[in-house]
Structure 1
Amino acid sequence: MKNLSRLLFVTVLLVCFSTTNAQDQNNPWAVTIGVNAVDAYPVGEDAPQGGYFDKFFDVGDHWNILPSVSTIAVSRYLSDGFTFTATGSINRIDKFGDAGVDDLSYFGLDGRVSYSLMDLVGSKTIDPYLGVGGGYTWLDEIGAGTLNGTLGIKFWISEKVGIDVQSTYKHAFEDYLPKHFQHSVGVSFKFGGTDTDGDGIYDQDDACPEEAGLEIFNGCPDSDNDGIQDSKDDCPNTAGLAEFNGCPDGDGDGVMDKDDKCPAVAGLKALMGCPDADGDGVADGDDNCPNESGPAANNGCPWPDTDGDGILDKDDKCPNEAGTAANNGCPEVKPTEEVMETLNSYARTILFDTGKASFKKETDQVLQAMVAIFKEYPRADFAIEGHTDSVGSKSTNQALSDRRANAVRDYLIANGIAADRLTAAGYGEDNPIANNKTRAGRKENRRVEVKLKN
C-alpha cells in the first residue's frame, strides 16, 4: 500500500507538470509564503475525531499551528484559467481531534491544478478558485500519499502582490495517516512576464512587442509625440493634430494649412482660417471697419444707432429715444419685478462711512449700475428708502437713515436722473428685515431700498 501511495503521488506531479503551457503569459509564475494549520477533527470519523465540517472553525481546540513561516508554494499559470501549484509545508501536531498527542512532526509536499473563478465573479481583485491534486505527507517521519481537494481565494492588492487564503482536504491512502484539513494563509508574489521591447507593456498585451511604445496605444510608438500612433499618423515625424490625421496646422487656428487662406495668421474656421478682429463675421481683409463690428451687408461697418440703446435705427421703432429690445427699441414704461429685484440687490450693497451719509469709494460702481437701470425707464418714478439697525437712539437712527436716502437721491440726480422722478425718506429702525440681536441681522437691517411709485 505504501508503494501504491507513493506511485500515485509521483503520477499526479508528472501529469500536472506535463500540462504546463510554455506560452508567454503576463507574470505566469508566483511564489506564496505563509503559515498553515492542520485540523484532523471534522473529517467524518469517530471520536476523538468528528463529523464532516463539524466545528470546522474551532481554532483553539483543534487546529495545529506552527507560529512561524510554515508554507511555501510555487505556481505556474497553464492556460484558460488553470494553474499548477507545488507546495511544501511543515507543522507540529499536538492536537488529534479532541485528543492530545505527543509533539509529532508534520511535513507535506503537494501538487495541485486549480481553476480560477475570477472571470465568473467579474472582479479584477477577488480571485476565488477550486483545486484538485495529490501529495505525500509525513507524520512523525512516516509518509503516505493523499488525494487533495482545495477551495481558496486570492485578494490581489496590486498587479503582482496578493493575499492567498485556502483550505485543503487531504484524504490519506494509509491508515496510519489520518484524513485531515490543512488551512493556509500567505502572501503571493507574481513574476515572470516578458517585455521584449522594454516599454513596460508585456508582450502578450503589446500590439508592437518588438518596438517600444506607449500604453495608451497598446505598446505601439508615437514618434512625434502628438498623441497619434505612427501607424495612423499621416505625418509620423512632425507633430500635428488628430483631426488632420497627425499633420500640422502652422498658425494653430484649427484649419489645416492646405485649406487656410491665411496660413501665417491665426483665424477662424468659418472664414477659412482668416482673422476677424471685431468678431462681426467679416474677415479683416474684406472688412471696411476691421476694428468696429458691423454686418456683412454694410461691408463690416455698423448700422447707426442714434439713441444708443443697442437697437439699430433700421429696427428701432423709437430711434430717437433709448428703449429695450423687448419693446422694439422703445422705452419700457415700468420696470419688471425682476428688474426691481436687481435694482434692490445693488441698493442693499451700498456702503456708507460709519455713522455718516457719505459713500465709501468702492460703492461708486454699484451706484453707476443703478444709474444705468434708472435710465432704461425714463418714465418711471422711484422712492428711495433708508433703514438702520437698532444700535443707538431712535432719533439718531431716524436722522441718519433720512440723510443716507437723500444722499443716494442726490447721487442719482447728479448723474442724469431727473429730480422729479425721485423721492427720498428715512425710516430709521422701524422696519427691520432681520434680527437686530445678531451681528448678521443688524448688517442686513442697515440698508437702502428702492420702491416703484405708482
Structure 2
Amino acid sequence: MKKIQFLFICIFCFATAFAQQETTHKKQALGISFFLNDFKTAANIRTNGLVSVLKDKSFFKPSIMNPGIAVDYFSGISKHVDFIATLGGSFLDYPIDNVPAFNANNFLLETTANLNLKLLTDKYWVVPFIDLGVGASNYQKYFSAFTPVGIGLQVNFLDEAYLILNSQYRIPVTENASYHFYHSITIAGNIASNKVIVPKAVEVPVVVDRDGDGIVDSLDACPDQAGTTALQGCPDKDGDGIADKDDKCPDVAGTAKYNGCPIPDTDKDGINDEEDKCPTVAGVARYQGCPVPDKDNDGVNDEEDKCPNEAGPASNFGCPVIDVVVVEKVNKAAKNIFFATGSSKLLAKSYKSLKDVAQILKDNPSYKIDVDGYTDITGSADKNQTLSENRANSVKQYLIANGVDESRITATGHGINDPIADNKTAAGRSKNRRVEMKLRNY
C-alpha cells in the first residue's frame, strides 16, 4: 500500500510541476458515465491466469458484468494531465473475502480521484491516455479502499464536449475490497463559458438632453430623469407601462385599473381577486381560488380523503375508525392459523378462526383485509419468500371460499423480513413463522 501511495504522490507532484510550464489546459467540465463492473473476469485471471482467460475468449463478457451510472468532474492541470473525480453507484452482489455471500443485489457506492496522463494535447480530435488514482467504496456496512489503473481514449467535439472510453483494473488496498475491472463510457461538457464580453458603445450625450435619455428637454415630461419615448421621457421602474410619476406602486408591476398596482389578492393564495371565486378564503387554482372541498366535514379534504362521504380522522385517511373489539378479534384469529410443517396447507384447527374473520367481513361490506405471511430464517431466503407468499394466499383462498369477495383481500409474502423475535432460538423462530391480518375500511 505504501508503494502505491508513494507512486501516486510522485505522479501528482510531476503533474503539478509540469502544469507550471504550460499555459493552456482543459476547462472545468461535468460528465455522466455509464459503466460495467466485472468481478468474475478478475477472479478468473487471478485463479487461472491471463493467458487462459484470453484463450477461452472470456475476457469481456457483458452478460457477467453489473451496470451502473456515475457523475464526473474534470479539471485540467496541464496540457497533458487532467484531474478527474468520479462518484458512481450500481446494484450487485459484492464479493468480500472471509465474509459470507450476500446472495442479493445491494447498492455499491464507489468514488475515485484520478490523474489522466494524456499522450497528446486536447487540440487533437483523438487523445489516448493512461490513468492512475485512488478510490473508496461502501457496500452495506463495509468500507474499503482501492487503487484504479487503466487506459482510455478521449474524442473531442468542437472544444466544448467530448466522449471518453476507459477501462480500469481496480486493485484492493484494504481487506474488504475486491479485484475487479471497470469499463466506462462518458459524455462530458465544459461548464466554463467561452463567450467574449463586448463592451457597449458609449453614447455621446446631447447638450439639450439633461437626463441623457435621447429625448430633448423640450419634449421630455421628466427632463431630469431618464425615461422612454413611449412615456414622454419618464421612467417606469417596474416596467408596467405606467410612468413612475403616475404609478402608486412604482416598484411593483400593476395595471392602469389599479393605478399601477397589482390586482389585489385579499386571501394571499396567489390567485388575484378578479379570478378568485373565494376572494376572502385561501384556496387553490384548480378550484378557482376556493379550498379543496371536504364534503363530510371531517377536516380531511376530498382529494386526500379515502372515505369522502363518511367522517373520519386524518390518521385513518378520513375513514371511520374500526371498533377496537373487532380489530382484537381479527388479531386473535391470526394467532390461531396453523400450517403443515414446511407447507402452505392449512391445518383444520385454523378453520374456526378464519370463518370468524370471514363472517366479520361479510357483516361489514366496507371492510378490506391485508394478509401478510412471514417465515423464520431456516432455509434459503428464496424458498422462504415463496413459502410466505403461498401461506398468505392459502388464507386468502379460504376466505374467498367462505364468501368474501377476492377484491377485498390483499395477500403478501414477506419471507424472512420483519422478524418479531430472535431467530437464534427455537421459541423466537416459532414466533416469526406467522400470518398477520389487518382490517381497514379504505
TM-score between the two structures when normalised by the length of structure 1? 0.35
Higher gyration radius (CA): 1
TM-score computed with the length of structure 2 as normaliser:
0.36
